[in-house]
Amino acid sequence: MFADAKFGIGPSIEDGFYYDFELPRALSPEDLPIIERKMVDIIKADLPFKHREISKEEAKILFASQPYKLELIEEIDDDRIGVYSQGNFTDLCRGPHVNSTGEIGAFKLTSIAGAYWRGDEHNAMLQRIYGLAFETQAELDDYLAHLEEIRKRDHRKIGKDLDLFVFSDLVGKGLPLFTEKGSIIRRELERFVVDEELRRGYKHIYTPDLALVALYKTSGHYPYYKDTMYPVMKIDDEELILRPMTCPHHYQYYASRPRSYRELPFRIAELAKQFRYEKSGELTGLMRVRAFCLADSHIICQKEQAVSEINQVMDLIEYVAGVLGYKAGEDFRYRLSLGDRKDEKKYYKDDDAWDYAENVLREVLKQRGANFFEAEKEAAFYGPKIDIQMKNVAGKEDTAFTVQYDFVGPKRFKMTYIDSDGKEKEPIVIHRSSIGAIERTMAFLIEHYAGAFPTWLSPVQVKVIPVSDRHNEHAARITAELKGRGIRAEIDDRSERMNLKIRQAQLEKVPYMVVIGDKEAAENTVAVRRRSGEQLPAQQLASFIEMITREIDDKT
Amino acid sequence: MFADAKFGIGPSIEDGFYYDFELPRALSPEDLPIIERKMVDIIKADLPFKHREISKEEAKILFASQPYKLELIEEIDDDRIGVYSQGNFTDLCRGPHVNSTGEIGAFKLTSIAGAYWRGDEHNAMLQRIYGLAFETQAELDDYLAHLEEIRKRDHRKIGKDLDLFVFSDLVGKGLPLFTEKGSIIRRELERFVVDEELRRGYKHIYTPDLALVALYKTSGHYPYYKDTMYPVMKIDDEELILRPMTCPHHYQYYASRPRSYRELPFRIAELAKQFRYEKSGELTGLMRVRAFCLADSHIICQKEQAVSEINQVMDLIEYVAGVLGYKAGEDFRYRLSLGDRKDEKKYYKDDDAWDYAENVLREVLKQRGANFFEAEKEAAFYGPKIDIQMKNVAGKEDTAFTVQYDFVGPKRFKMTYIDSDGKEKEPIVIHRSSIGAIERTMAFLIEHYAGAFPTWLSPVQVKVIPVSDRHNEHAARITAELKGRGIRAEIDDRSERMNLKIRQAQLEKVPYMVVIGDKEAAENTVAVRRRSGEQLPAQQLASFIEMITREIDDKT
């Protein structure tokens, strides 16, 4: 296609391959099918790939018109240089190759991008063509469908399309701003978690987002978290720091007055802001941020209460996961993370305590018949833990949050309780989350539902659509009635065609559309359709309100 | 009483007077009435105060047995030294004095404290007696009653007695930890404000607690707030800082996409954490802290919408104040804070904009017939404001929060909207709070209600009190039933006398006590009493639930 094309490099990469070219004009996506047809011809011709080794001098002559290849040849520290030919085309290449072009089963060119020669912005900008290759067309098709699904579900894309969160260069990297709609989802999640935890006997408290460095030195966290903590702030003669975790704050609350065994289990919970440094290259939408809000908890209890408390924690986690639409075993499973008794630097030395704690966690998981596996050397420094391993839409498994058994914290903070025998005793602590960080949970949920949230989480629950302008007034009354009942309803009274308005509400993933035309206005009914396109029978407004209210309350 | 008492100094102070003594034994509170009786005798004797001036030498002889007086005499830079005598007592004193002891109308010795001579901890510790004096007994009695009321209502005392919040030396000064009970009040307040603002068309969002320093330089806040901001945190090559205010965050949200006139007024609200340095000597319980949560808002609107928007803001403020039990004119009034056109350093230069904005605020206040006064040179640098001046229990008036008109922010952040004529225009911003900082509001409320919160804010709304152990089971069922209905109920099933349990619930300011004895268990009724002691007629549990639920929902 381009007689004077200059060739850069063309390696295989994790997800396919690419080739960089200097071309007389910019490629457009329309060029790719043309190139693909030429590739198909070459494959059909079943040309053998012939390998030979030539000297540097021979190579320089062979690639005399290819400046990028010459630069590469110059740098090769060997006089034997490998080249491959098929038909009348010869390329500089280490190999290996398939035997002939006919062995290439299925391929697709996926995109074009600009790329500096050797990744250096001082060099020429080349044109890069990306592609995929598989042994069979079926495998290629599967992979393309998978990519499309991931692309469509990427929470960063959906977050932008549905206006759920934004970033600002002036606010800073990894610090999302939740928009009106994203904030509705966040608030629903937060209130759901808080209310559910209150119902289960937690004390839901508020503690400061920062504290003296001395607090984290006392807790023992400082040396382990120093590199991921924000810098120290000096105020007067004090050193303050943004908190990377909540535990020592909660211990200070516990220790603010003497406690009796009657007060145990003392279940402290908080929607706790936490601040951890992440490399800017690792920041990913809401999934990985520099400040997050953890649904955190510390249960201070007698050692003998641990099995029962951890069971209740697992009940809560599975209940919450169920409401959010996650299935144990399918969307997540448990990892029992154990310590390494020999590594006294990384793990607190107390073999009996480790034995007891690991056994408690293992027994709970077994009793429940939970889907779990064990992992060595993954514990916290203060004890073993159960990790909730969540699978994302790309199938990648990651720790969403944890349940930890801690026998060190109470010692460091000299936490005690007066037992029924009047003696002072040391409790243990269970660290746990029920839903993880709100930001990450939202990222998971956006991808899980591809933006089509269940009604209780939907920023707009009902879009009221007047068929024409003369129905606007009646539609406005209906919207007001819905809002008065606590339903998030919005009217679309623009002078646009009804079908366009319905289509847009569907794109916005609004679960219900209420269409108001002559018939509905006259009969005082509503025509309801779901975002799926399903049309419900015409009904009284009151019956629709009853239905949607039940759905919202039940979180289905 | 003590022949060899050594006298220190005895000045009048803002709240009365004191005198420091070195005595052979420690005084106890029981000594004060004895001293008072001696003082009454001296007053009755109506001894004249005789003033004379003597030389330093004479003074040294006169006070030869008084080492503290000698020290003071040594330091006087004048040979004429004033002394006052009444009866056989002579003291070193500049005066003036009343003519005779009989002119002292009413007095009271209030307390004893230790005090280092001249306030220096290297000196001897003396005993200080504090007292009050008024012209009449009635004035003294009023003042004592007032002091007692302030003492009883001090939110720090009540906060401790009712276990609402605590501080921790390891967390840091001015950083309160809200306990389970305090957090209930806080959460109720927060949800009330958020829900009310959502109902009134606000977008309630979440933005980060920190941002790049550049954000505050763009906003123009940095030079004005530098000294009250926390120190800069360097991360990679960026400079981050805890936010001292929310405005620029909200502007970044507004500016995240182009806005149309149809979207205005764009009412952004947030429960926003803010961080400001306060001198440690100025920190006061929840009233003045180093990190607080402001019910903040920025209304971005057309200039022509300002009057209507500010009126709606005032409606909201007065509604919220009413629910919280504050009366306009009595508990708070408005201050219209104006700028100084001549001070171009402190106030942004734009005379027309100042004229327009000041007029808008004044007109709104006048239209509403609001109780307000004007104050020069109290505006923000970006425009005039209305301050909500709240009176505390001691009668001291302070700015609780503000409503500000801002014509500078939109310029600095180049905020625009596309008007109906298709042209790009500049909006104005109204900064406002509806309730102020949650911490300060709680401090005010604790003092306002002296801890006896209305039912919707009470941490425990119902205390269920079984008359004896055999009623515990029935009482537990009733407690569970109340909890199931969302009422914060607690059982007191200790083996204590009923009257003691009732007394304790009253001390805890629990609004309702439900007493369960034989009669109630048999007839399946409840005997309800209010914390005031008032007894309600025996009733079915359902009727009590209906009554208290209505009271909670109505926030009365």
List CB contacts (< 8 A) between A277 and chain B.
235
Q: How confident is the model at residue B395 (pLDDT cuts 50, 70, 90)?
A: confident
The CB-side HSE value for B387 (13 A sphere, CA atoms) comes to 20
Interchain contact, A206 vs B177, CB within 8 Å:
yes
Question: Could you tell me how far CA A39 lies from the centroid of its own chain?
Answer: 38
Tokens of A131: 């592609």
Indicate the DSSP class of residue B265.
S
Q: Measured between alpha carbons, how far is B104 from B102 in angstroms, rounded to an integer?
A: 5
Interchain contact, A277 vs B230, CB within 8 Å:
no
> Residue A295 in contact with residue A281, Cβ under 8 Å?
no
Q: How confident is the model at residue A10 (pLDDT cuts 50, 70, 90)?
A: very high
Question: What number is the average pLDDT over the span A72-100?
Answer: 92
- Minimum Cα–Cα distance from A208: chain B residue: B175
List CB contacts (< 8 A) between A553 and chain B.
none
- Minimum Cα–Cα distance from B242: chain A residue: A242
Interchain contact, B212 vs A236, CB within 8 Å:
no
Q: Measured between alpha carbons, how far is A174 from A282 in angstroms, rounded to an integer?
A: 9
The reported pLDDT for the residue numbered A41 is 95
Distance in Å, alpha carbon of B542 to nearest chain A alpha carbon: 21
Interface residue A281 vs chain B (CB under 8 A): no
The reported pLDDT for the residue numbered A47 is 95
Interchain contact, B280 vs A236, CB within 8 Å:
yes
Q: How confident is the model at residue A220 (pLDDT cuts 50, 70, 90)?
A: confident
> Residue B442 in contact with residue B182, Cβ under 8 Å?
yes
Nearest CB among B175, B187, B249 relative to A211 is that of B175
Higher pLDDT, A340 or A359: A359
Question: What number is the average pLDDT over the span A143-166?
Answer: 94
Interchain contact, B211 vs A253, CB within 8 Å:
no
C-alpha distances in Å from residue A433, one per residue of A441, B420, B494: 12, 49, 33
- Minimum Cα–Cα distance from B494: chain A residue: A262
Nearest CB among A187, A210, A215 relative to B291 is that of A210
Interchain contact, B177 vs A256, CB within 8 Å:
yes
- Minimum Cα–Cα distance from A486: chain B residue: B199
Helix (H) or strand (E) holding B418: strand B417-418
Kindly give the interhelix angle for A306-324 and A438-449, rounded to the nearest 10 degrees.
Answer: 40
Cβ within 8 Å of A, B 74-113: none
The reported pLDDT for the residue numbered B329 is 86
List CB contacts (< 8 A) between A242 and chain B.
210, 233, 242
- Minimum Cα–Cα distance from B249: chain A residue: A171
The reported pLDDT for the residue numbered B322 is 95
Give per-residue pLDDT as tens, B65-113: 999 999 999 999 888 999 999 999 999 998 889 999 999 999 999 999 9
User: What is the percent of chain A where pLDDT is above 90?
Assistant: 87
Q: How confident is the model at residue B345 (pLDDT cuts 50, 70, 90)?
A: confident
- Least reliable range by pLDDT among A261-270, A304-313, B143-152, B448-457: B143-152
The reported pLDDT for the residue numbered A346 is 84
List CB contacts (< 8 A) between B252 and chain A.
166, 168, 170-171, 177
The reported pLDDT for the residue numbered B121 is 85
Question: What number is the average pLDDT over the span A231-260?
Answer: 96
The reported pLDDT for the residue numbered A340 is 87
Tell me if residue A393 falls in helix, strand or coil: coil
Tell me if residue A502 falls in helix, strand or coil: helix
Nearest to A110 by CA among A29, A8, A25, A11: A29
Nearest CB among A179, A206, A256 relative to B205 is that of A179
The reported pLDDT for the residue numbered A341 is 86
Tell me if residue B276 falls in helix, strand or coil: coil
> Residue B18 in contact with residue B130, Cβ under 8 Å?
yes
Q: Bridge-partner residues for B274, per DSSP? A: B292
Name the average pLDDT for chain B. 94
Distance in Å, alpha carbon of A124 to nearest chain B alpha carbon: 28
Is residue A143 over pLDDT 90? yes
Listed in sequence order, the residues at least 6 apart from B506 whose beta carbon sits closer than 8 Å to its beta carbon are B513, B531, B533
Interchain contact, A291 vs B208, CB within 8 Å:
yes
Distance in Å, alpha carbon of B382 to nearest chain A alpha carbon: 21
Name the average pLDDT for chain A. 94
The reported pLDDT for the residue numbered B404 is 96
Interface residue B375 vs chain A (CB under 8 A): no
Higher pLDDT, A289 or A15: A289
Give per-residue pLDDT as tens, B163-201: 999 999 999 999 999 999 999 999 999 999 999 999 999
The reported pLDDT for the residue numbered B382 is 87
Listed in sequence order, the residues at least 6 apart from A162 whose beta carbon sits closer than 8 Å to its beta carbon are A181, A451, A459, A508, A509
Cβ within 8 Å of A, B 201-230: 203-212, 214-215, 218, 230
Q: How confident is the model at residue A364 (pLDDT cuts 50, 70, 90)?
A: very high
Interchain contact, A171 vs B231, CB within 8 Å:
no
The reported pLDDT for the residue numbered B123 is 93
Interchain contact, B171 vs A207, CB within 8 Å:
yes
Q: Measured between alpha carbons, how far is B82 from B55 in angstroms, rounded to an integer?
A: 9
The reported pLDDT for the residue numbered B328 is 86
> Residue B443 in contact with residue B287, Cβ under 8 Å?
yes
Cβ within 8 Å of A, B 140-199: 163, 166, 168, 170-173, 175-180, 182-183, 186-187, 191, 194
Is residue B253 over pLDDT 90? yes
Interchain contact, A208 vs B256, CB within 8 Å:
no
Tell me if residue B385 falls in helix, strand or coil: strand
Q: Measured between alpha carbons, how far is B474 from B163 in angstroms, rounded to an integer?
A: 29
Q: How confident is the model at residue A321 (pLDDT cuts 50, 70, 90)?
A: very high
Is residue A392 over pLDDT 90? no
Cis bond upstream, residue A427 (ω within 30):
no
Interface residue B248 vs chain A (CB under 8 A): yes
Is residue A395 over pLDDT 90? no
Q: How confident is the model at residue B225 (pLDDT cuts 50, 70, 90)?
A: confident
Interface residue B494 vs chain A (CB under 8 A): no
Query: Which of the residues A191, A205, A488 would you substitute to probe the B interface, choosing the one with the greatest number of B C-beta atoms within 10 Å?
Result: A205
Q: How confident is the model at residue B221 (pLDDT cuts 50, 70, 90)?
A: confident
Kindly give the interhelix angle for B306-324 and B180-199, rounded to the nearest 10 degrees.
Answer: 150
User: What is the percent of chain B where pLDDT is above 70?
Assistant: 100
Give per-residue pLDDT as tens, B283-340: 999 999 999 999 999 999 999 999 999 999 999 999 999 999 998 888 999 999 999 8
Tokens of A71: 């630069």
List CB contacts (< 8 A) between A233 and chain B.
230-231, 233, 242
> Residue A112 in contact with residue A29, Cβ under 8 Å?
yes
Question: What number is the average pLDDT over the span A430-446?
Answer: 96
Cβ within 8 Å of A, B 12-71: none
- Minimum Cα–Cα distance from A281: chain B residue: B236
Burial call B233-245: b when 16+ CB within 10 Å, e when fewer = bebeeeebbbbbb
Question: What number is the average pLDDT over the span A368-395?
Answer: 91
Question: What number is the average pLDDT over the span A243-264?
Answer: 97
Query: Which of the residues A164, A207, A232, A479 would you substitute to probe the B interface, choosing the one with the greatest number of B C-beta atoms within 10 Å?
Result: A207
Nearest CB among A175, A206, A280 relative to B178 is that of A206
Question: What number is the average pLDDT over the span B346-365?
Answer: 93
- Minimum Cα–Cα distance from A216: chain B residue: B170
The DSSP result for B86-138, as a single string, is ETTEEEE------SBGGG--EEEEEEEEEEEGGG-TTSPEEEEEEEEEESSHH
Reduced 3-state DSSP string for A121-146: CCCCEEEEEEEEEECCHHHHHHHHHH
Question: What number is the average pLDDT over the span B336-356?
Answer: 90
Reduced 3-state DSSP string for B221-263: HHHHHHHHCCCCEEECCEEEEECCCCHHHHHHHHCCCCCEHHH
Query: Which of the residues B180, B217, B490 would you substitute to probe the A interface, choosing the one with the greatest number of A C-beta atoms within 10 Å?
Result: B180
The reported pLDDT for the residue numbered B343 is 87
Interchain contact, B231 vs A234, CB within 8 Å:
yes
The reported pLDDT for the residue numbered B214 is 96
Give per-residue pLDDT as tens, A54-71: 999 999 999 999 999 999
Distance in Å, alpha carbon of A309 to nearest chain B alpha carbon: 19
Reduced 3-state DSSP string for A10-71: CCEECCEEEEEEECCCCCCCCHHHHHHHHHHHHHHCCCECEEEEECHHHHHHHCCCCHHHHH
- Please classify residue B478 by burial: count the beta carbons closer than 10 Å to its beta carbon, then call 0-12 exposed, 13-18 middle and 19+ buried: buried
Q: How confident is the model at residue A554 (pLDDT cuts 50, 70, 90)?
A: very high
Is residue B227 over pLDDT 90? no
Indicate the DSSP class of residue B351.
H
Tokens 């009106």 sit on residue: A180
Residue A450 corresponds to which amino acid? A
Interchain contact, B257 vs A206, CB within 8 Å:
no
Cβ within 8 Å of A, B 288-317: 290-291
Distance in Å, alpha carbon of B442 to nearest chain A alpha carbon: 13
User: What is the percent of chain A where pLDDT is above 70?
Assistant: 100
Question: What number is the average pLDDT over the span B368-395?
Answer: 91
Tokens of A329: 């075993």
Is residue A300 over pLDDT 90? yes
List CB contacts (< 8 A) between A215 and chain B.
168, 170-171
- Minimum Cα–Cα distance from A483: chain B residue: B199
Interface residue A236 vs chain B (CB under 8 A): yes
List, in sequence order, the alpha helices (H) in A384-538. 409-412, 438-449, 472-484, 498-507, 518-523
List CB contacts (< 8 A) between A230 and chain B.
233, 235, 240
Question: What number is the average pLDDT over the span A461-473?
Answer: 96
The reported pLDDT for the residue numbered A14 is 83
Give per-residue pLDDT as tens, B424-459: 999 999 999 999 999 999 999 999 999 999 999 999
Helix (H) or strand (E) holding B306: helix B306-324
Nearest CB among A171, A182, A252 relative to B171 is that of A252
Interchain contact, A171 vs B273, CB within 8 Å:
no
Q: Measured between alpha carbons, how far is A503 from A463 in angstroms, rounded to an integer?
A: 11
The reported pLDDT for the residue numbered B396 is 83
Interchain contact, B171 vs A209, CB within 8 Å:
no
